[in-house]
Structure 1
Amino acid sequence: MNSQRMYEVNVERNVEIRLRDGICLRADVYSPISERKFPVLLMRLPYDKSVSEAIGYMHPEWYARQGYIVVTQDVRGRYASDGEFRPFFNERQDGVDSIRWAKRLPQSSGKVGMYGFSYVGATQLHPAADCSEELTAIAPAFTNDGYYEDWTYRNGALHLAFVQSWATSLAPDIAIRQGDAEAAGDLLRKMNRIGERYDHLPLHAHPGISKPFSPFYYEWLEHPTFDDYWKQWDLRIEYDNIKLPAMHIGGWYDIFIEGTIRNYRGMSSRHPNQKLVIGPWVHYPWTALSRDADYGEDARNVVDHLQVRWFDYWLKGRDNGIMDEPSVHIFVMGDNAWRQEREWPLARTQYTKFYLHSEGNANSLSGSGTLDTNAPDSESCDIYAYNPLDPVPSLGGNSCCVPSIAPMGARDQRPVEIRNDVLVYTSQELTEDVEVTGPIRAVLYASSSADDTDFTVKLVDVHPGGKAINIVQGIQRASYRDSNEQPSPIEPGRIYKYEFHVGSTSQVFKKNHRIRIEISSSNFPLYERSLNSFRTDREGDYTDVKAATQKIYHDAEHPTHLVLPVIPRNR
């Protein structure tokens, strides 16, 4: 229980902030009623400052009661602020100007922190590279280290459900600002029904995504490789310049979990005072319930409590012990408990190869696919047909942003495991708990009858009753096997070795459970479908679709496997 003084709060609406180029942004300012000086917490968002991401955090007034001046600002071109909204383009310079403005507020103590999740996590990190001296500490949550890999694309495949649903969610405010009520109503209806149109082809001419009101969606499609358009926002080249304490917060089922981890690792390798907090959460809401899994009382939302401790230490100088704790705070699923660690990945990790085996018919739950740590000898490959007109449907996973229209969280995978285009490899029942905590890597030996295609991987926890819960999943577009910058077709029928990062997790496979790996060529609409023809544009339509014959090899020369980060349990 927080025993510190709670303040009454005064609220000023639409306070103007004039930027260096003359554009006026507007913010709501929540100030404790007192003669004292207080540190400032700044949130810059494109989702309406009147709401201020209250779906995840406590209301800004709650933070102000704790003794903070809270400034929630509409970014350029959104809601009450002037200018044109272009996602990503102005957040760095506008953020710097806003931070300096907040620091000079009459009641400010001179200490400024920032918080917010998703896009609002990025609005902290980008200006921090230019004003680490003015900014004291940040708490970027559920965000990425750039906007290409793990935001718009994943190993060459479009993050379809997220990109399309997010683009439509940004559109209604643009119409409202233009005074076009009819268009705004139409855009709201399209936003709520976008899930019904994920199957539309071609992607670059989508009837549910308006070019006048969502032009950025079509702009993203025009940049399918990691080119200069995306490199301008690559935070990995900025880590040396972000010299301030940061608490990186994420969720195992969040779309941006990999970027969250990369930000922590990149910044902690250069600067002290970094923390990493990861719960068993989807993008939002942050609760113990994740569709078909319940992670218990300890998995409830603890973010507000942690942020107050964080900012109390850095902005108020309160020695509350938070910096005496280990830097990594993870929720271990299966054990359903929080655990503190000193690094990521864990130093005691035993990277263990789990090999695929079968009699040549691992297709579906009825097949002969098995999984163990013994390398294969002489085994027949597994064969399946991938038809883009009938893709494997996504059940849960790491997407964003609304659970009702995007595949998110933990789901029972048996409805897709009955399909013959899903290869299923399952271990024997475990005789003891097996903890998998860290990054997971796939090594696939595969061929295709097409000159381009996708291969998907999923790690699954099989319960004694048969329930099969997805833990982490990944995808690799064949043409992007060597590079996200220069894709190239594959030779039909040739065996290629595909090595790629599947994802990160912390999961204990309990005694009597089984470990399962699924291999297929689609996970839709989490990711777009490959049409099985090499092209980098998104102009292909239904007449361009081709079926492909896929083969997964697991023999002595081609030992397909996953590398799992196994953690010894005898701590």
Structure 2
Amino acid sequence: MLKQTVSMYTRDRVRLDADVYYPDAEGEFPVLLMRQPYGRAIASTVVYAHPSWYAAQGYIVVIQDVRGRGTSEGEFKLFEHEIEDGFDTVNWAATLPRSNGKVGMYGFSYQGMTQLYAALNRPEPLKTICPAMLAPNLQHDWAYENGAFCLFANLGWAIQLAAETARLKGDEVAFLELSQAAKNMPLSDLIPAYPEVMQKYAQYDAYYQDWLNSEEAYWQKLTPDVSSIELPMLHIGGWFDTYMRGTLRSYQASSKKHLQHLIVGVWAHLPWGRKVGAIDYGADAVSFCDRAQIRWFDHFLKGSELTDPPVQLFEMGSNQWRSFSEFPHSSEQLLFLNSSGLAGMDDREGKLTTQQSNSAIDVIVHDPWRPVPALGGHVAYPCGSFERSAIDARSDVLTYTTDPLETDLHIAGEIVVELYASSDAASFDLCAVLSEVQPNGSVMNFSQGYLRSENSERAAYRIVLQPTCIRIRQGSAIRLSVSGACFPAYAVNAGIGKKPKDARAIEFQIITIELYSGESSQIRLPILPE
């Protein structure tokens, strides 16, 4: 393998540096490009094979530091230069020595977004991309979920990027303080969602203030229109990935004029292995994406035949891959919430049934001093499925459970929970978690969603949960758990109508939430046939 470090200049004369890996063979080859902000030597090897492996498959592999990161020049501002820089880089990569002029891109998370941005203006050499674990709608599928600020993921990433900027600037004091904050997240400051360390080192912040301020013009500028990208794409996601909603919507929005494939494993954002949370899903759960990407690139950049199924979904529970011609269109099964009014006191008092019952009111008293903690799911760390019966035993968590299933149930797609509720506060939150209650009594979460309401009116609140694919075994039951917090995955609601950036810890209120189980509060389950 031959590795070279080379540079290019953008249209505004900013130098961008890259490592280029060449095959150990003669001839011309297509180029695989990854553009990333973490130091090009990492090259996303937390989830992908090393670039040298891709080079050995007959590709020139380019791993580039984006503007202001690694050794590249310029100022790093989250995503703001990636359209023009991506376009320029694709055209430059196509002219590298021994390139045949064809370019493909791969990478996940930030590196997935750089693919979409590069493709927007249609550089001629770019023939295909493989975006993984991303959310093109940065506001609604990345920074916020149904109006709730994803505190832990957003703050953790902001501190990491700020610490790296301080390191690149040679500011050792800032680097060490930010690094310490990353290891011990500052969640109890004067303004909990905007800790003092981020205010102190605001000059190194690439995005966090903008995301807290949530100005519409900012989001519109950075949200790529996936439907305008006229390229074949291989989309990759994970059922416990923070950005799975965005991955699925990106796949669904992509132009069907070109081939669109989708792979979804059981994985969290990283790593892509067999164990996620507390469950070992078996050897088949390990990522095969490196080989799948090579087959994809071989087809579009070398003309080889492609026989992979268009959609491959890992089904939890059966722990096997299922193949489809498109993302499955499931039938809908309704489960209604029934209760005696004591669903927060005893997990036998709240029921999920196929029939509505008389109206009952269950009450949640959310205490900001002891908010319901996050455990697993797709936003907390670590992500995944965990035994949560101790959380369900809290009096500020309402539980509704089916009878044991008489047959296996296969669920695939987005689950919708509709809750009739009201509150005594100016604003309140609803967290909905779906779990499998196994015959031995274990309660294992498999999907969840979160919503922030900016009013207190008695109304139906619609929560779209994380997409999933799971078999619930005969003899197990399904449980819905409802609470008013999921901390620190999401910022705790102060209850006073202020945005997270303005809510001071001393202002946080006790919030009483009433949930009406007899007024069409229900779950809409997407069911696959056997």
Q: Give the SS at the match of 2:291.
A: helix
- Structure 2 residue 465 is matched with structure 1 residue 502: yes
Instruction: Identify which of 318, 330, 333 aligns with 1:335.
Output: 318
Task: Report the counterpart of residue 354 of structure 2 in structure 1.
Answer: 373
Alpha-carbon contact 2:162-2:205 (below 8 Å) kept: yes
Letter in 1 for 2:355: N
SS in 1 for 2:126: coil
Q: Distance in 2 between matches of 1:63 and 1:439?
A: 34
Question: Does 1:559 find its partner at 2:526?
Answer: no
User: Counterpart in 1 of 2:272?
Assistant: 286
Tell me the amino acid that sits aligned with residue 164 of structure 2. D
User: 1:43-89: CA deviations, max 9, x gaps?
Assistant: 00001101101110011111101111000000000011000000010
How many angstroms apart in 2 are the aligned matches of 1:201 and 1:230? 27
CA 1:55 to 1:364, structure 2 compared with 1: closer, same or farther past 3 Å? farther
Gaps of 5+ in 2: none
- Residue 233 of structure 1, aligned match among 214, 222, 240: 222
The match for 1:519 is: 482
SS at 2:129 equivalent: strand
Q: Secondary structure at the match of 2:160?
A: helix
Instruction: Report the CA distance between 1:32 and its aligned residue.
Output: 1.2
Pairing partner for 1:266 from 253, 257, 260:
253
Alignment of 1:428-443 (within 5 A): 428-443=403-418
Summarize deviations over 1:521-556 as a string: whole Å, max 9, x none: 11111111111111235221122111111111022x
CA contact (8 A) 1:394 1:407 kept: no
Tell me the SS of whatever aligns to 1:445: strand
Amino acid at match of 2:125: E
Give the aligned partner of residue 361 of structure 1.
342
Change in CA separation of 1:311 and 1:365 when aligned onto 2, cut-off 3 Å: farther
How far does residue 415 in structure 1 lie from its aligned partner after superposition?
Answer: 2.0
SS of the counterpart of 1:231?
A: helix
Assess if the C-alpha contact under 8 Å between 1:30 and 1:69 holds in 2. Answer: yes
Asked if residue 384 in structure 1 is aligned to residue 364 in structure 2, the reply is yes
Aligned-residue offset at 1:442: 1.4
Q: Secondary structure at the match of 1:62?
A: helix
Matched, 1:198 2:187: yes
Distance in 2, matches of 1:272 and 1:474, equals: 32
**Is the aligned partner of 1:126 residue 2:106?**
no
Aligned with 1:247 (options 199, 214, 234):
234
* Structure-1 residue corresponding to 2:498: 535
TM-align CA RMSD? 1.5
Q: TM-score, normalised by structure 1?
A: 0.90
Q: 1:136 matched to which residue of 2? A: 127
Give the superposition deviation at 1:367.
Answer: 4.8
Matched position secondary structure for 1:419: coil
Alignment of 1:431-510 (within 5 A): 431-479=406-454, 489-490=455-456, 494-510=457-473
Letter paired with 2:472: F
Query: Which amino acid counterpart does residue 446 of structure 1 have in structure 2?
Result: A
Aligned pair partner of 1:311 in 289, 297, 315: 297
1:107 alignment partner AA: R
Q: What residue identity is the alignment partner of 1:470?
A: N
How far residue 340 of structure 1 moved from its aligned partner, in angstroms, is 0.7
Pairing partner for 1:410 from 374, 377, 385? 385
Task: Say if 2:2 is the partner of 1:10.
Answer: yes
Q: Which region of structure 1 is more displaced relative to structure 2, 205-214 or 87-96?
A: 205-214
SS at match of 1:446: strand
Task: Please point out which of 25, 45, 57 is paired with 1:66.
Answer: 57
Q: Match of 2:369, as an amino acid? A: L
Q: 1:333 to 1:133 in 2, by over 3 A?
A: same
CA contact (8 A) 1:140 1:247 kept: yes
Residue identity matched to 1:253: F
Kindly state the Cα deviation for residue 508 of structure 1 after the two structures are TM-superposed.
0.7
SS in 2 for 1:278: strand
Q: 1:364 to 1:200 in 2, by over 3 A?
A: farther
Q: Is the 8 A contact 1:132 1:243 kept in 2?
A: no
Contact 2:240 2:266 in 1 (8 A): yes
- Displacement, 1:218? 1.6
Contact kept? 1:364, 1:417, Cα under 8 Å: no
8 Å CA contact retained: 1:438, 1:504: yes
Q: Cα distance, 1:468 vs. partner?
A: 1.0
Tell me which moved more, 26-35 or 512-521: 26-35
Alignment coverage as a number of residue pairs: 528
State the TM-score, normalizing by the size of structure 2: 0.97
| Separation in 2, partners of 1:239, 1:198 | 38
User: SS in structure 1 opposite 2:349?
Assistant: coil
Aligned partners of 2:76 and 2:206 also within 8 Å: no
Q: Distance in 1 between matches of 2:46 and 2:350?
A: 43
Distance 1:517 1:116 in 2: 35
Q: Aligned pair in 2 of structure 1 residues 40, 372: CA closer, same or farther (>3 Å)?
A: same
Work out the CA distance in 2 between the residues paired with 1:384 and 1:249: 38
Residue of structure 2 in register with 1:403 after alignment: none
Give the match for residue 196 of structure 2: 207
Unaligned runs of 5+ in 1: 1-8, 401-405, 480-488
Change (3 A) 1:182 1:164: same
